[in-house]
Amino acid sequence: MSEKLQKVLARAGHGSRREIEGIIQAGRVSVDGKIATLGDRVEVTKATRIRIDGHVVSVKETEEAVCRVLIYYKPEGELCTRSDPDGRPTVFDRLPKMRDSRWVAVGRLDVNTSGLLLFTTDGELANRLMHPSHEVEREYAVRVFGEVDEDKLKLLTKGVQLDDGPASFCTLKYSGGEGLNQWYNVTLTEGRNREVRRLWEAVGVQVSRLIRVRYGDIPLPKGLPRGGWTEMPLEQLNYLRELVQLPAETTSKLPVERERRRVKANQIRRAVKSHGQAGPARRSAPKRNG
Distance CA 289, CA 286 (A): 10
Helices (H), 173-233: 195-202
Distance CA 85, CA 75 (A): 20
Helices (H), 39-188: 123-130, 150-158
CB atoms within 10 A of CB 196: 22
Please report, for residues 58, 116, 212, the alpha-carbon distance to residue 236 in angstroms, rounded to integers and kept in the order given.
27, 15, 18
* Nearest residue to 140 via CA among 187, 81, 199, 77: 187
Distance CA 138, CA 149 (A): 24
Distance CA 205, CA 183 (A): 12
Catalytic residue among 40, 110, 122, 217: 110
* Nearest residue to 215 via CA among 70, 18, 14, 92: 70
- Is the CB of residue 162 less than 8 Å from the CB of residue 225? no
Q: Is residue 217 annotated as part of the catalytic site, yes or no?
A: no
Q: Which residues does the annotation mark as catalytic?
A: 110
